[in-house]
Amino acid sequence: MAALRKPVIAGNWKMYKTIAEAKELAEAVVRGLDNSFGAATLILIPPFTAIQEVKRTVSGTAIAVGAQDVFWEEKGAFTGEISPLQLKEAGCDFVVIGHSERRQYFGETDETVRKKTLAALCHGLTPIVCFGETLEERESGRTLDRIKAQLELSLFTLEEADFSRVVLAYEPIWAIGTGRNATPEQAEEVQAFTRSLVASRYGKTAADYAIILYGGSVKPNNALSLAREKDVDGFLVGGASLEAESFLAIAREALRAVRD
């Protein structure tokens, strides 16, 4: 992890936690904070129902709050969707877009990711845009081709000023919720490739400052080795973010990688 990029640790709680449980978890994260965490950006991403409660709970701390998805319209007859305007009012700072589970179960495409990213940016939300390959794509040697196609279709249509506000999150689909994470070398290969694509599209300075997270079965015991890679700037954490102790331990390891 390069020292010029502040590490980002985002905890995606997925479809877990009632409002009361979310408040309890957020309180535990707040209790575990100390001054060292100021060198990182910590983000809690609860279900929609708990966003306001979590926002209240972390008020007065440096912890940011995010949402797990967003629609691309401000309002309208879109039953079951949530708009960037509504998320901003609820207290969100960030929003995850294009998570592999959204792609797998709900028909998310690179085009919908593009539209959602634009909508989020228009309303002052920072998009955390996910991309990654399937196991079949990796085993057939098509990983880098797939990454390039995803980025070109979903993000590289943005102007540089807008792109600079996006957080990237590489998540190999075969590592999501499986307990099987990419090796540090596998993660670095894709993330260095991603940074080179950003440099080709937007220039070296934009690439140097681009935040590229890794997501996929991140735990306290593998976070340090991943974070020590040059192009891994933090993590989009799933299951390990459902306990304050493990979430904070991952953040500590990311900060340790910067110090080392």
Q: What is the mean pLDDT of residues 148-168?
A: 97
Report the number of distinct structural domains present in the chain.
1
Task: Determine the 3-state secondary structure of 131 from DSSP.
Answer: strand
Catalytic residue among 53, 99, 123, 133: 99
Residue 20 lies in a domain: yes
* DSSP letters for 76-140: SS-TT---HHHHHHHT-SEEEES-HHHHHHH---HHHHHHHHHHHHHTT-EEEEEE---HHHHHT
DSSP letter at 150?
Answer: H
Decide if pLDDT at 52 tops 90: yes
Residue 39: inside a domain: yes
The encoded tokens of residue 235 equal 């993590």
Report if residue 30 sits inside a domain. Answer: yes
In which domain, by residue range, is 233 found?
A: 8-259
Structural domain includes residue 2: no
For the segment 78-104, the average pLDDT, to the nearest whole number, is 97
Check whether 1 has a pLDDT greater than 80: no
Which DSSP state fits 140? Answer: T
What single DSSP character describes residue 141? T
Whether residue 3 lies inside any domain: the answer is no
Give the whole-angstrom CA distance, residue 97 versus residue 24.
26
What is the rounded average pLDDT for all residues in the chain?
A: 95
Query: Phi and psi for 173 in degrees, rounded to 5?
Result: -60, -35
Say which CATH number the domain at 72 has: 3.20.20.70
Is 1 part of a structural domain of the chain?
no
Catalytic residue status for 81: no
Residue 24 has pLDDT above 80, yes or no: yes
Q: Is 171 labeled as catalytic in the residue annotation?
A: yes
User: Is 103 exposed, middle or buried (CB count within 10 Å of its CB: 0-12, 13-18, 19+)?
Assistant: buried
Please give the average per-residue pLDDT across 44-52, as a whole number: 98
Give me the percent of the chain exceeding a pLDDT of 90: 92
- For residue 196, pLDDT over 80 is answered with yes
Q: Is 48 exposed, middle or buried (0-12, 13-18, 19+ CB in 10 A)?
A: middle
Catalytic residue among 101, 133, 137, 171: 171
Residue 60 lies inside a defined structural domain of this protein: yes
pLDDT at 179 over 80: no
The residue-averaged pLDDT of 104-124 equals 97
Domain assignment present for residue 96? The answer is yes
Give the pLDDT band of residue 180 (cuts 50, 70, 90): confident
